[in-house]
Amino acid sequence: MAVTPVPPEVAAELRKGGKVAVATAGVAAADLDELLPGVAYEAADVDVMGPAPWAVDEPSAVAVVARTPTDLRRAVALGDALPDAHVVAVIVLESPQWCDAPGVRLSPGLGRKFLRDLAVSRHGKSGWRVRTRFSHPRPAGEVAAAVARGFGAHQLGGYALPAAGLAGSGLAAWRPGDPGARFSDTHGPAPDRADVPAADLAVRAAVAPGAAAEWNDERVTIVDRDADPSWARIGAPGGYGVLRDVTIEPDAVPPVDERSVNPRGFLKTPAKGYGTLERHDGATVVRLEDRTLTRLPGSGAVTDADIGRLRRLRGVRVTWRHTHGGPIAAARTVASLAAAGVPMLCDPVPDWAARGLGPGLTVLLTGATERELADDLRREEHSVRLRRTALGTHGTTARWRSLAAGSGVPLPPDPTVSVVMCTRRAGLVPFALGQIARQRGVDVEVILGLHGVAATAPEVRDAVAGFDGRVTVVEAEPEAPFGVVLNRAAARASGSFISKWDDDDWYGPDHLADLVLAQGYSGAELVGVASEFFYLQQIDVTVRRNWTSETMSDHVAGGAFIVSRSAFEALGGFRPVPRAVDVQFFQALLRAGGAIYRTHGLGFVARRAARGRHTWQEPVGYFLARARDQWPGFRPSGLMDAGA
């Protein structure tokens, strides 16, 4: 690819005083001369380098050069190995359209107190460049981690336990973006920190055949990962046996970096037709008609920038001769596209690929037809099913939980959700609790706020008694403002997230699971759905509004979001006012520096009943004027169905 050189003043700064240590990720070594004109450097590629790759002792500066934010996140996983320097630069050559300038928040306990200069600039057409200068040499990995984190909304760059070890070269993709990952050679030991090993569980690269697979640290559980057998080897005489002998299963596939390869940027109404995932000129590419839209890495490490190039496609047709890497790379490529919600049509999946993808994804991939994908709503439903399954099977979090579970390493509990549902209408309590009861894939408790309704009202009493789960009932006097009632209920919540719930709206069975999933990949404090579907009860019509979803936003549907309990508590909860509590809270959160992410709106239908009986005050024509689609009757998306 054509590379934009760094500006002369940057080159001058890097040139000062000796050799620059360059860590590359996803960038060909040959491109560095063009990028860093006149700079003396020594380069190492994070995808092949060992624990001590640079010969230069005290580099004048360190530059981390990544093709995309996704590539940068692999460098972060090996941050341990990057040297210290006064000047550290991070250059990302291209980023997807939704990627804003990175914030660079170094930990106050680490490098921030030594930071003397910081500059963030656009690099080329869609890249970003960060330059830091410290009063004392600082580990370059710390800067790489801050920049990688700064591209997203996560307050913390780490992952939940287990603490990960990477034993051997080429494993950075197993823990992308995790500054806590520990890097060693294939024999161990895992480095110690305060006399205990710095990892709970390590993946280890395949050792050469015949070499002793010894491991020197019995305190750390090790999981061996086979190298991807190349098609050349499989294709050689007798080579087909390799396919039989190599373990191909989802856990053998390097995980999808869910914090950068995810549904963000999904387009509901694509402008283009179908691309084809295929082999062309010796590379894995997606082509549209006779043009190559993007060349994908042979390893299957699809990046966010690659996904960005596919967003305008209605879908991608998958052929299974697409990769030069091997069967694991092939599965990894398709799993990545699925995690990003790229709608795919698929030839029958060969057995080796099905083993790598897992049964859920395999079934989904072959289930869609071109006729269905021609309809924007059906297409989006297909995309949502793909992302859920792919992220739940192949995401980094899912992968490490699966590895840990298989190795007996202890795991923290999954996040829990407290549903706060306040109502003035006893008659709706059975309906609302029914909607909550059908939530699946999350651990839920209900805080039922009764706003001028007695807990002893028969409908309430029976519904609560019949609810299979934890319910806490909170009563409030009828004259209390809605915000006060909500806060009183929320004060009883014990979950990691608080979910606001409306008493008369419809929620798909995966509503909460989808929100928790989106929170995991977006890192936003508050995640909600796009307020798309409305059932206009008076005229028996369902309308769909045309919101952009899978995007950072300033608002979501008021009755369908989750917010982290810590953020909720930090802001003190809802304003003690009778209405518009959601909008007030969104504004407070954004002004405090928080993020709101809007995921898809297919699992939620707001009921719009007669005026005066509902918080929505707009006349029915308001919804009609803004509808992109409408159908007679109650016609939610296919994802509202429990069988979906």
Q: Which residues bind other proteins (CB under 8 A)?
A: 97-98, 100, 126, 267, 271, 291-294, 308-312, 375, 377-378, 431, 434, 506, 535-541, 543, 605, 610-612, 619-622, 624-625, 629-642, 644
CA distance 503 to 420: 10
Q: Which pair of structure tokens corresponds to residue 130? A: 């960060």
Phi, psi of 34 (to 5 degrees): -70, -40
Nearer to other proteins among residue 70 and residue 397 (C-beta) = 70
Instruction: State the minimum distance, in angstroms, from the CB of residue 97 to other proteins.
Output: 4
Nearer to other proteins among residue 211 and residue 610 (C-beta) = 610
Nearer to other proteins among residue 257 and residue 504 (C-beta) = 504
Instruction: State the minimum distance, in angstroms, from the CB of residue 428 to other proteins.
Output: 9
Instruction: State the minimum distance, in angstroms, from the CB of residue 278 to other proteins.
Output: 16
Instruction: State the minimum distance, in angstroms, from the CB of residue 495 to other proteins.
Output: 26
Nearer to other proteins among residue 496 and residue 637 (C-beta) = 637
Exposed, middle or buried by CB within 10 Å (0-12, 13-18, 19+), for 368?
Answer: buried
CA distance 552 to 562: 15
CA distance 187 to 189: 6
End-to-end distance of the chain based on CA atoms, in angstroms? 42
Going edge to edge, which strands form the sheet with 416-423? 470-476, 443-451, 416-423, 497-501, 560-564, 526-529, 596-599, 551-553
Residue 83: name the closest of 141, 19, 144, 16 by CA: 141
Instruction: State the minimum distance, in angstroms, from the CB of residue 637 to other proteins.
Output: 6
Nearer to other proteins among residue 320 and residue 431 (C-beta) = 431
Is 296:337 a contact under the CB 8 Å cutoff? no
Nearer to other proteins among residue 16 and residue 440 (C-beta) = 440
Query: 473 in helix, strand or coil?
Result: strand
Q: Name beta bridge partners: 62.
A: 21, 88
Phi, psi of 490 (to 5 degrees): -65, -30
CA distance 333 to 330: 5
Instruction: State the minimum distance, in angstroms, from the CB of residue 109 to other proteins.
Output: 34
Nearer to other proteins among residue 240 and residue 622 (C-beta) = 622
Query: 296 in helix, strand or coil?
Result: strand
Is 102:73 a contact under the CB 8 Å cutoff? no
Instruction: State the minimum distance, in angstroms, from the CB of residue 303 to other proteins.
Output: 12
Alpha helices in 341-395 (DSSP H): 351-357, 359-367, 370-373, 376-394
Q: Which pair of structure tokens corresponds to residue 393? A: 């099977």
Nearer to other proteins among residue 369 and residue 538 (C-beta) = 538
Instruction: State the minimum distance, in angstroms, from the CB of residue 177 to other proteins.
Output: 22
Nearer to other proteins among residue 538 and residue 566 (C-beta) = 538
Q: Are strands 84-92 and 61-66 parallel, antiparallel or unpaired?
A: parallel
Going edge to edge, which strands form the sheet with 283-288? 291-296, 283-288, 272-280, 313-318, 344-346
Q: Buried b / exposed e across 487-512, counting CB within 10 Å, b at 16+? A: bbbbeebebbbbbbbbbbbbbbbbbb
Q: Are strands 627-632 and 541-545 parallel, antiparallel or unpaired?
A: antiparallel
Nearer to other proteins among residue 30 and residue 617 (C-beta) = 617
Q: Which residue has the tokens 């960060």?
A: 130
Is 101:59 a contact under the CB 8 Å cutoff? no
Q: Which residue has the tokens 């380069």?
A: 43
Residue 128: name the closest of 157, 103, 153 by CA: 103
Instruction: State the minimum distance, in angstroms, from the CB of residue 131 to other proteins.
Output: 22
Nearer to other proteins among residue 187 and residue 312 (C-beta) = 312
Instruction: State the minimum distance, in angstroms, from the CB of residue 358 to other proteins.
Output: 26
Nearer to other proteins among residue 240 and residue 631 (C-beta) = 631
Query: 589 in helix, strand or coil?
Result: helix
CA distance 532 to 409: 42
Residue 482: name the closest of 396, 573, 408 by CA: 573
Query: 252 in helix, strand or coil?
Result: helix
Nearer to other proteins among residue 560 and residue 605 (C-beta) = 605
Phi, psi of 290 (to 5 degrees): -110, 25
Nearer to other proteins among residue 117 and residue 289 (C-beta) = 289
CA distance 379 to 313: 11
Is 113:106 a contact under the CB 8 Å cutoff? no
Query: 86 in helix, strand or coil?
Result: strand
Phi, psi of 560 (to 5 degrees): -150, 60
Nearer to other proteins among residue 568 and residue 623 (C-beta) = 623
Nearer to other proteins among residue 108 and residue 643 (C-beta) = 643
Amino acid at 552: M
Instruction: State the minimum distance, in angstroms, from the CB of residue 406 to other proteins.
Output: 37
